[in-house]
């Protein structure tokens, strides 16, 4: 501590507290499991009554589940889920936008000039492998889900350092700006086990899909 | 010397302000509890807790009752797989081909087609043996041909396999001549299945059988 206190002759006693605040794992407190489970069941029933697919993000269980009519179609286990900001609203949310650095591009089919050209076949499809594994889902009510795979290898780890800086410094500032404008804000950092899981989540959740984010 | 000191003081002041703002931001952003739930039922009371649990169990039962009990089809368009289930029992798993996701624009830009397999819950609306393909406009545009005026010029037999299950808006689960492409996303939105699997699915499905595509 003396070293921290005396850098440039200034008092930095608050710095360790600040660092602990930055690095500590945010958690949801309190035991409201029974009432939350009740609330979840009520909300899920509303979604399950419709013919549309829906998703549920279980924050404490670290799961993302795609469902229809109460039936699990696909589930993904997250390695970790961290949060900043307000508690998510305990009601249906809509996926308004998917944002990623390199969004997948659809191929344009050029009409064949003649029959010979029409007979040649080129496989140029948009497949699961073309989906990004690192992206942000913007849900209604100011909810953001930052999805990324667990970093393996040098470059992904370096990329993750940038992500951690952004997550621990930039996102709280963003929350502050939302708070000053009296807008709801909640951000979740979801780290998935495999790159393929992220790609599958991107594929499975189209814009417009409804879902629930619950602290269970 | 004085200028240096002032500059250093300014830098330190700026840094201190930034740290203070960041600290305030972090404190403000600290994850909040679900206040709505906290304000809800009081779980300390054992009777109230038991009532809440019973209500939750009843709700779960109602959700469970919405899932299909009869034969139903689940299609994973990302992995190009089809699963035929009765209740929770898996009766068949097959490799299929779903939509390519490609775009076709009509020359002149009047119409655009996106070749995705639709997602959501559907029902088998028609069952056809030895189906004949009624080629839609896009098929002619893609082949660079003129769109025919007569309906009979649109008919093409033998390309959809032995059976077809229609699930609305011109989408079918049908057979294929290109079995080597099963497992790849190559279709115009329909779901192509291999001959043997198609026969089993056709026999198990009836009008109204639910299809879930994701």
For residue A31, pLDDT over 90 is answered with: no
Averaged pLDDT for residues A126-130: 93
Q: How far apart are CA A119 and CA A110, in angstroms?
A: 13
Residue A115's pLDDT is 62
Q: Please check whether residue B121 touches A, CB under 8 A.
A: yes
Distance in angstroms (rounded) separating the CA atoms of residues A10 and A184: 37
Q: What is the dihedral of CA A166, A172, A173, A176, to 10 degrees?
A: 160
CA distance A133 to A144: 16
Q: What is the pLDDT of residue A156?
A: 77
Report the interhelical angle of A171-180 vs B2-29 (nearest 10°): 80
Are B101 and B206 found together in one domain? Answer: yes
User: Residue B41: its pLDDT value, please?
Assistant: 47
At residue A187, the 3 state secondary structure works out as: strand
Please tell me if residue A53 touches chain B, with a CB cutoff of 8 Å.
Answer: yes
Q: Which two tokens stand for residue B133?
A: 């393909």
Structure tokens at B111: 């119409």
Q: Which one of B38, B66, B94 terminates a domain?
A: B66
- pLDDT bucket at B81, cuts 50 / 70 / 90: very high
d(CA A4, CA A12): 6
Residues of chain A found within 8 Å of residue B60, distances taken between Cβ atoms: 41
Q: What is the pLDDT of residue B31?
A: 81
Asked if A173 and B8 come within 8 Å (Cβ–Cβ), the reply is: no
Burial of A54-88, coded b for 16+ CB within 10 Å and e otherwise, reads bbbbbbeebebbbbbbbbebbebebeebbbbbbbb
Look at residues B43, B66, B89 and tell me which one is the last residue of a structural domain.
Answer: B66
**Domain span at B55:** 2-66
> What count of other Cβ atoms lies within 10 Å of the Cβ of residue A207?
11
Tokens read off for A43: 């909300």
| A165 reaches B (C-beta below 8 A) | no
CA angle A95, A131, B165 (to 5 degrees): 80
Q: Looking at the predicted structure, is the pLDDT value of residue A175 above 80? A: yes
What is residue A17's predicted lDDT score, i.e. its pLDDT? 43
- Asked if the model's pLDDT at residue A12 lies above 70, the reply is no
Residue A118's pLDDT is what?
56
Confidence of residue B116 (pLDDT cuts 50, 70, 90): very high
Nearest to B103 among A53, A108, A206 (CB): A108
Note whether B25 contacts A173, CB cutoff 8 Å: yes
> Which pLDDT band, with edges at 50, 70 and 90, does A110 fall under?
confident
Count how many residues are written for chain A.
216
Residue of A8, A49, A112 lying closest to B144 (CB–CB)? A112
Structural domains of chain A, with CATH: 29-214 (2.40.440.10)
Give the closest residue to A74 by CA, choosing from A202, A161, A163: A202
| Kind of pairing between the strands at A186-192 and A143-149 | parallel
> CA nearest A108: which of B112, B126, B210?
B112
pLDDT of the residue at A24 = 42
| Of B38, B100, B120, Cβ closest to residue A32 | B38
Average pLDDT over residues A70-89: 94
Question: Which residues have CB under 8 Å from A193's CB, separation 6+?
Answer: A77, A78, A79, A149, A150
Answer yes or no: is pLDDT of B109 > 80: no
Residue A15, pLDDT > 80, answer no
Tell me whether residues B121 and A109 touch, CB distance under 8 A.
no
Whose tokens are 């939750």? That residue is B56
Query: Band of the pLDDT at A113, cuts 50, 70, 90?
Result: low
User: Based on the domain organization, do B139 and B52 belong to the same domain?
Assistant: no
Q: Which of chain B's residues have a Cβ under 8 Å away from the Cβ of A176?
A: 21, 24-25, 28-29
| B128 HSE (CA, 13 A, CB side) | 19
DSSP-assigned letter for residue A166: I
Q: Considering only CB atoms, which chain A residues are within 8 Å of B7?
A: none
One domain for residues B103 and B175: yes
Contacts A66 to B, Cβ<8 Å: 214
Residue A50 has pLDDT above 80, yes or no: yes
Q: Is B32 exposed, middle or buried (0-12, 13-18, 19+ CB in 10 A)?
A: middle
Q: Residue B125 maps to which CATH number? A: 2.40.440.10
**pLDDT tier at B27 (50, 70, 90 boundaries)?**
confident
Q: Give the one of A53, A84, A176 whose C-beta lies nearest to B214's C-beta.
A: A53
Distance CA(B35)–CA(B40), nearest Å, equals 9
Q: Is B87 on the interface with A (CB under 8 A)?
A: no
Q: Tell me what percent of the residues of chain B surpass a pLDDT of 70.
A: 94
HSE value, Cβ hemisphere, 13 Å, CA-based, for B178: 14
Instruction: Give the pLDDT confidence score for residue A19 in this predicted structure.
Output: 43
Asked if residue B102 and residue B89 are part of one domain, the reply reads yes
Interface test with A, best of B25, B29, B38, B118 (most A CBs within 10 A): B29
CB pairs under 8 A between A and B: 202
Interchain contact, A85 vs B63, CB within 8 Å: no
Cβ distance B56 to A38 less than 8 Å, yes or no, reads yes
* Angstrom distance (rounded) from CA B22 to CA A176: 9
Average pLDDT over residues B163-174: 96
Q: What's the confidence (pLDDT) of residue A117?
A: 62
| pLDDT for position A119 | 58
Give the residue, A159 or B186, on which the prediction is more confident: B186
| Same-domain check for residues B109 and B202 | yes
With an 8 Å Cβ cutoff, is B27 touching chain A? yes
- CB atoms A108 and B104 under 8 Å: yes
Do B193 and B82 form a contact (C-beta atoms < 8 A)? yes
Enter the pTM of the model: 0.84
Q: CA B213, CA B145: separation in Å to the nearest integer?
A: 32
CB contact under 8 A, B37 and A26: no
Q: What local confidence, expressed as pLDDT, does residue B158 receive? A: 92
For residues B29 and A168, is the Cβ–Cβ distance under 8 A?
no
Single out the residue in B66, B96, B119 at which a domain terminates: B66
- Contact criterion met (CB < 8 Å) for A21 and B26: yes
Q: Which residue of A has its CA nearest to B24?
A: A176
Strand B191-193's sheet: what is its strand order?
Answer: B120-123, B210-213, B71-76, B81-86, B89-97, B191-193, B172-174, B163-166, B126-129
Residue of B41, B67, B78, B180 to mutate, testing the A interface (most A Cβ within 10 Å of its Cβ): B78
- Do B113 and B86 lie in one domain? The reply is yes
Residue of A26, A38, A71 with shortest CB distance to B30? A26
Please state which of the ranges A50-54, A147-151, B11-15, B31-35 shows the lowest mean pLDDT. B31-35
| pLDDT at residue A163, as a whole number | 86
Instruction: Check whether residue B89 and residue B135 sit in a common domain.
Output: yes
- In Å, how far are A129, A159, A166, A175, A184 from A179, measured between CA atoms? 38, 29, 18, 6, 7
Indicate if B83 and B59 belong to the same structural domain: no
CB contact under 8 A, A109 and B104: yes
Pair (B110, B89) in one structural domain:
yes
Q: How confident is the model at residue A78 (pLDDT cuts 50, 70, 90)?
A: very high
Taking contacts as CB-CB distances below 8 angstroms, the residues of chain A near B19 are 14-15, 18
Identify whether residues B43 and B122 lie together within a single domain. no
**What value, to the nearest 5°, has the Cα angle with vertex A147 and ends A141 and A150?**
155
Alpha helices, DSSP H only, in chain A?
2-5, 14-23, 33-48, 115-119, 154-165, 171-180, 195-204
Which one has a higher pLDDT value, A156 or B79? B79
Q: What are the pLDDT digits (tens) for B91-108?
A: 999 999 999 999 999 888
The count of structural domains within chain B is: 2
Do residue B52 and residue A49 have CB atoms under 8 angstroms apart? Answer: no
**Do B40 and B135 sit in the same domain of this protein?**
no
Cross-chain CB nearest to B52 (options A10, A38, A113): A38
Mean pLDDT lowest among A158-172, B93-107, B132-146, B183-197: A158-172
Mean pLDDT of chain B: 91
The reply to whether B53 and B82 lie within a common domain is no
pLDDT given at position A120? 61
What pLDDT score does B107 carry? 86
């Amino acid at each position: 501590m003396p070293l921290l206190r005396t850098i440039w002759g200034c008092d930095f006693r608050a710095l360790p507290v600040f660092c602990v605040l930055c690095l500590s794992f945010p958690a949801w407190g309190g035991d409201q499991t029974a009432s939350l489970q009740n609330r979840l069941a009520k909300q899920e029933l509303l979604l399950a009554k419709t013919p549309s697919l829906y998703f549920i993000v279980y924050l404490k269980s670290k799961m993302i589940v795609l469902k229809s009519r109460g039936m699990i179609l696909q589930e993904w286990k997250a390695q970790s889920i961290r949060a900043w900001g307000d508690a998510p609203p305990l009601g249906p949310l809509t996926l308004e936008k998917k944002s990623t650095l390199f969004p997948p591009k659809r191929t344009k089919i050029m009409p064949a000039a003649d029959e010979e050209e029409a007979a040649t076949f080129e496989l140029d499809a948009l497949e699961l492998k073309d989906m990004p594994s690192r992206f942000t889902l913007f849900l209604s009510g100011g909810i953001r889900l930052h999805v990324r795979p667990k970093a393996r290898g040098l470059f992904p780890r370096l990329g993750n350092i940038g992500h951690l800086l952004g997550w621990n410094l930039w996102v709280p500032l963003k929350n502050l700006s939302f708070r000053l404008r009296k807008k709801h804000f909640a951000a979740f950092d979801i780290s998935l086990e495999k790159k393929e899981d992220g790609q599958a989540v991107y594929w499975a959740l189209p814009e417009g899909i409804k879902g629930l984010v619950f602290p269970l | 010397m004085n200028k240096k000191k002032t500059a250093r003081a300014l830098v330190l002041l700026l840094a201190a302000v930034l740290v203070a703002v960041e600290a305030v931001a972090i404190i403000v952003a600290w994850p909040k509890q679900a206040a709505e739930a906290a304000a809800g039922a009081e779980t300390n009371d054992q009777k109230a807790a038991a009532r809440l649990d019973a209500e939750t169990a009843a709700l779960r039962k109602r959700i469970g009752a919405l899932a299909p009990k009869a034969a139903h089809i689940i299609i994973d368009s990302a992995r190009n797989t089809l699963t035929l289930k009765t209740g929770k029992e898996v009766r068949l798993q097959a490799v299929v081909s779903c939509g390519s996701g490609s775009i076709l624009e009509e020359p002149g830009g009047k119409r655009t087609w996106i070749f995705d397999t639709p997602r959501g819950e559907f029902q088998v609306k028609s069952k056809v043996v030895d189906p004949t393909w009624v080629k839609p406009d896009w098929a002619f545009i893609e082949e660079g041909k003129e769109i025919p005026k007569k309906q009979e010029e649109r008919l093409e037999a033998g390309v959809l396999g032995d059976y077809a299950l229609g699930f609305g808006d011109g989408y079918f689960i049908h057979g294929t001549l290109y079995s080597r492409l099963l497992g790849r996303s190559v279709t115009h939105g329909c779901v192509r299945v291999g001959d043997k699997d198609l026969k089993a699915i056709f026999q198990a499905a009836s009008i109204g059988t639910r299809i879930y595509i994701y």
